[in-house]
Every structure is written in C-alpha cells, then in structure tokens.
Structure 1
Amino acid sequence: MPTHAYGANAADQALQAMQIERRTPGPHDVQIDIAFCGVCHSDLHTVRSEWGGTRYPCVPGHEIVGHVSAVGSDVTGFRIGDTVGVGCMVDSCQHCSACAEGLEQYCQNGFVGTYNGKTADPPGHTLGGYSQRIVVDDRFVLKIHHPEDQLAAVAPLLCAGITTYSPLRHWNIGPGKKVGIVGIGGLGHMGIKLAHAMGAHVVAFTTSQGKRQDARDLGADEVVVSRIPAEMHAHGGSFDFILNTVAAPHDLDAFTALLKRDGTMCLVGVPASPHPSPNIGQLIFGRRSIAGSLIGGIAETQEMLDFCAGHGIVSDIEMIPVQHIDQAYERMLRSDVKYRFVIDSASLA
C-alpha cells in the first residue's frame, strides 16, 4: 500500500518527502492512520547514523498515536476507529525468558525496532512513524484513553514516558521516597511529572538557574542547581533513588554521593562517549548502585498509558509540520524546546 512519508536516503542528507510501501494487514495485524508522531533524540542519531548500522531509506519515528483503520481477521482486541499508539518496538522473538515475562525490550534475540529493524516487508527494514500510516502486529499496539484533544501530547509518552516510568516502578517509587531527577528535558520533565504523581518527594537537578521555576511547575518539590556545591552538599546521603536522564558524559560521583545506603542511581541516557569512571569506594562503602533501564515491555507501557490517563499526565510539546523536521533536530541539539517536538501527520498530505 503506497504511503506518504518523510525520511532520509543517506546520513549526510536532509529528510525529504518520499513514498513507501506498507503491507496489507495480515490476520494478526492492525493498520493505523497516524495522527501524531513525537520526535526523539534516537530519531536524529539513527537518521545521521551516529550510532552506526542505519539502513536507508530511513523513516524514523517511534512515538506514534493514531486511529485504527483496518484489522486482521484474527484481531479481537481492536476495532476500526479505536485510538491507539505504537512505541519503540513492533516485534520480538516471543519465546525467550524475557519475552515470556513481558519484558520484550530485553528480548534475548533482539526486539524489532519500529524503525531500522529487520523485517520481511520492503525494503527489508522497518520504517517508522514519520508517515501517514503503519501496519503493526496487534501484540505491539497499545490502547489510549486520553481525550482526543490531548493526543498530540500523548505521543511522547510512547518513548519518553515509558523510559522514565519503568525505572520508577521497578524501584518501587511512591510515598515516603525521596527521588532525584537529573536533567529537565524530554525525559526529565516526564520523570518529574511521573514521580510526583506516584507520591514521591521530588528533587529536580539542573545546571541552569533559569529552570528553577520550570521544574517546580512540572511538580518538583525542590530544585537544585548542580553547579552550586553548597546546594548539592545539602542533600548528601539523602536520596532513595536518582533517575539520571542526561545523555552526555558527566561526573556520576556528584550524584552517587547523594544516595542513601542501598540507594540506586539509574541511567536512562546513552552518551556518545563514556562517563568518567565512577568512584567505586563511594559505592562499596554505602552499598550504593548504579543501574540502567531500557524503555518498558508492552504490558508495562499499557500500564503507564493508563496511569497517565488517570492522572491527567501528558508531555509538554511543540507541534511542527514534518517539513520543519531538520530545523527541529538542530533546535533539539541546542535544547531549544519545551520539552518535546511532535509532528502533525496531517502535514504529510
């Protein structure tokens, strides 16, 4: 099925309009007319092959919200007209221990990404949400219960939302817990909102004095400018959990020193080069941990969407037409967005 899309034909080329093919829905497929697609840093890294291994043409986009326009004969959980979402995965092996536990993001045989993943469909790799429609196995389609006028702001929940929700849930964040969120960007602003909604005492860390009020508006109880030693020192040894969303190399010791005994700092940003090696003594003498987390499984992503719908949580966004995507990438690199770009798919017409 011919579909209008926007993508790149090479790492050094701007994104451009193109026509791609989508498969005819099979028995277990759901066809989705895309209304909105969030813009993630991963899109930029993949389009420009900064992580290597990009297959071209590359159509990015894995924060997809739309409406069901066709279903396969064996699909029972979705009907035409349903409001649905697709996140970072469209398949996994379904038979390893991780998949059996509903942790498809850790599939031992590698999950299939919504874009740049191997597939039998032409051109041999998946093509993402910068397009008018997509066809996805029903096991990887999510139900959205937010009101229609919030759907654009729901799109980033499919990546930024679950990336921050999953570690907060895994480390049992809730009332009585003191939680730090490092970085107030696309991921960090969602971390603040979610940790606040879970009932934790939330402390936001930023390098910018100008973001103090922004962080409070998002739900932070306290704000620390990490470049001010006295502010950092005042919180020494007091955090149960720190969610570090910064994707650039930095001194981890400054934050592990703030953890209680048995506290954990979880990293969700992947820097282009390694962080400086942490002070192991600081970990040993406090039984502290540095951990990592990757998005979430399908069941947990559905749980996150339902939690956000119940608490009125969406992302803070700036809507753009798809033709402005290259400018949006450059602004994203300068952190010149509050806090996530979302493509209006109507602009593809």
Structure 2
Amino acid sequence: MSLETEAYVCKAKGEPLKLEKIVLPPLEANEVECDMVCCGLCHTDCHMCTNDWGISDFPMVPGHEGVGIVRAVGSAVSTHAVGDRVGIAWMRDSCQACEACLCGRENICQPGYQGTFLSKSAGVWGKKPYNLTGGCFSKVMRVAARFAFKIPEGVPDDVACPLLCGGGTVYEPLCDYCEPGTQLGVAGIGGLGTAAIKLAKLRGVTPTAISSSPHKKQAALAAGAKDFVCFDDDLAAWAGKFDVIIDTSPANTQPAATYLNLLKFGGTYCRVGIPAAGEGFKYDWIPLIFTQRKVVGSIVTGSKCMHSMFNLVKDNLDFLQADNPDLQNIEKVPFSQANAAMKNLVERKNKGYRYVLVW
C-alpha cells in the first residue's frame, strides 16, 4: 500500500526546499523500505533544483547520497533483511537484462536506468514519475534492493554518504582507465577531486592535483596528491605529463585544449563533472588525430564498482582519513538548514569536504 512520510521538497525551479508530507507508491516485490538517517549534499542537487540541465520536473525531492536502515523488504527480496544499513545513490532501478546491467554497469543500462528522483523531462532516465517521491531528502524511501548498497561495518555514515555519488563517480574511471603506476591528473579539487586523489592512491595510481585555486594546494597534498598544478602557473612544464586526466569540474572553467595538452600522446581525458546545458565541447580534429588522445565521459557508477569501492574503503579506512583534514572535516548539519547549506555550496562558502544533512 502507499505510505505517507515527510520530505524536503523543491516546489518549483529555484525555490527553497520546504518540509512537506508526500506519499510513496506501494512497495514493489523487488524493493526495500528504509528509514533514512542522513544524506550528503551534492552539487548535482543544486543543479537539479535550478534546472540547469533542463531535465528537472517539479515538485521534486532531491538527494542521492543517502544512508538508511532497512525496515521492510518486498516479497521477492532475498538479499536484504530488516536492520541492514544501506546507501542509496543516483539510480533506483534498471532493466537488469541488458549486457551492461548483467555485468554490474547499470549506469550505462542500454534502455536507460531509472534515476532516483528523475521524471519525464529526463527521457529514458525518468520513465517513472519519481520527481516527487524519489530522492533521499525524504524520511522514508522505497527503492529496488539492487540499488540499496549494503555499507560495510565500520564505515561511518558521514564517510559513506559522499562515496555514494562523488566517490563512485571518480572510482569507475579509475577502474576503467588507470592501473598501478598511471600518472593521473585530477582537475577540480572539491568533493569529487579529493575522493579521486585518495581512491587513486589506494589503487596504486599516482595523482597530481590540477586547480585554478592556489589556496587548495595544501589540502590536495594532504589528501595524497604527489604535486599541485595551478592554472595561474606556466603550464608548459606540465605538457605531455599525464596518462589520464579526470576532470571533476561542474563548469567549463578551462578550454579543452588546456587539459588535452597536458596529456601524453595516447592519453585519456575523462570528464565526470557535468556543466550546465549549452556548455559544449570544442577542440580541433587534427591535434586529436595526430596525438591519438582520447576524450571520454563517465557517469556515476554501477553496482560492480560500488561494491568494489566500499570493500576497498572498508579495508583502508585509516588510510582514507589519515593526514586528510578535508575528509575529516565533513560538515554535519540538520535537514532544517538544507537551504543554507545549498546556498553555501553554490557560492563555494562551504568550509569542509562535504555537507551531510542529518534527520
């Protein structure tokens, strides 16, 4: 049967969140029902509330870095039990039949996965009207068990939250394009960039931070970066130095040529930060062809890499947190302060690595 709960709702484009009652659709056989404990605040939530990408539907319950406790399971669920601590991310379901889904890469589901709080304006990623009932800014959630990821014992909630989106988003290209010894450039030293540096080191990859903000140097080095490249510096010395660059920037802060010139011949530029609609990619064919550099994109992560990442984190939690004030400086705030936190994040006034909103 349907269930009434409370959630923070964005009623229309650009409007502040309001605590309101919502009604969840009936629990399906393959779903679990969770009491939500907390949720990380991702820049994507801000983009969606202002419809920067043109795929938002209102009213909307945002949130996709949620941690909750299972309190009920559907009739077909055998993988989860009441009391399990789980994380809910950007996807709530997928076809589970295509080649990508069968190998745990549901993020590139061929018919299109179902976004956690996406609806009709998102096309194949919003088949069901989950714009109102979907996101993790709700006190209770119902989601396919496959996308309620069990969080290993010992991994704190506030560490798990940012890994569910930001961590997974950078972990997948680390698995796809890097191997031990890879010289990696991480562009954009915010939540995603910090996670990329730490996770890269755990996989034996050598990360260098790339940023337009010189004041981020110490934090990047503390996170484990071997070196720091600032766009204010002479970049000629860094030309052709990197095997891979993962760009986490949520806007086109630099021309594509700036990054591609930093790659070795045959190197890969991977964009994971999603700019606003209309911010296109521009580069010339001749230098691309003659250097055999590659330009790729990557979106969130599927269940295979998500489980792998959490196992890696579980086994290396001390390393992840050691000598890294940013990972320890997660700002926990009550959900009642969600609007202020979103404003600070957009204006880059947040003091820590990530906001975590707590019920």
Q: Fold conserved (TM > 0.5)?
A: yes
In structure 2, distance between residues paired with 1:330 and 1:144: 29
Deviations 1:234-266 (A, max 9, x none): 222121111111121121212211211211010
CA positional deviation for 1:169? 0.3
1:18 corresponds to? 20
2:354 corresponds to? 340
2:237 corresponds to? 234
In structure 2, distance between residues paired with 1:141 and 1:289: 34
> Does the residue aligned with 1:90 lie in a helix, a strand or coil?
strand
Query: Could you tell me which amino acid in structure 2 is paired with residue 45 of structure 1?
Result: H
> Does the residue aligned with 1:159 lie in a helix, a strand or coil?
helix
Structure 1 residue aligned with 2:259, among 251, 255, 258?
Answer: 255
1:142 matched to 2:149? The reply is: yes
2:331 corresponds to? 318
> Does the residue aligned with 2:288 lie in a helix, a strand or coil?
helix
Distance change (3 Å), C-alpha of 1:256 and 1:333: same
Structure 2 residue aligned with 1:329, among 342, 350, 359?
Answer: 342
Distance change (3 Å), C-alpha of 1:30 and 1:218: same
1:214 corresponds to? 219
Deviations 1:198-252 (A, max 9, x none): 11221101112211111011111111112211xx222221211111111211212
In structure 1, distance between residues paired with 2:131 and 2:55: 14
2:324 corresponds to? none
CA positional deviation for 1:122? 7.4
1:203 matched to 2:208? The reply is: yes
1:290 corresponds to? 295
Deviations 1:261-280 (A, max 9, x none): 21101011121242562243
The range that moved more, 298-307 or 181-190, is 298-307
Distance change (3 Å), C-alpha of 1:113 and 1:206: same
In structure 2, distance between residues paired with 1:178 and 1:53: 36
> Does the residue aligned with 2:8 lie in a helix, a strand or coil?
strand
Q: Number of matched residues?
A: 341
Contact 1:186 1:340 in 2 (8 A): yes
Query: Could you tell me which amino acid in structure 1 is paired with residue 196 of structure 2?
Result: G
> Does the residue aligned with 1:17 lie in a helix, a strand or coil?
strand
1:246 matched to 2:253? The reply is: no
In structure 1, distance between residues paired with 2:255 and 2:63: 31
In structure 2, distance between residues paired with 1:196 and 1:209: 22
2:115 corresponds to? 113
Query: Could you tell me which amino acid in structure 1 is paired with residue 282 of structure 2?
Result: S
Structure 2 residue aligned with 1:308, among 295, 307, 313?
Answer: 313
In structure 1, distance between residues paired with 2:102 and 2:133: 24
Structure 2 residue aligned with 1:167, among 166, 169, 173?
Answer: 173
Contact 2:27 2:74 in 1 (8 A): yes
1:133 corresponds to? 140
Structure 2 residue aligned with 1:179, among 175, 184, 203?
Answer: 184
In structure 2, distance between residues paired with 1:121 and 1:265: 34
TM-score (norm 1): 0.91
Contact 2:34 2:141 in 1 (8 A): yes
TM-score (norm 2): 0.89
Contact 1:181 1:243 in 2 (8 A): yes
- Unpaired runs of 5+ residues, structure 2, are 121-125, 322-326
1:154 corresponds to? 160
CA positional deviation for 1:105? 1.2
Identity percentage over the alignment? 35
Contact 1:162 1:296 in 2 (8 A): yes
Contact 1:90 1:137 in 2 (8 A): yes
Contact 2:184 2:208 in 1 (8 A): yes
CA positional deviation for 1:321? 1.4
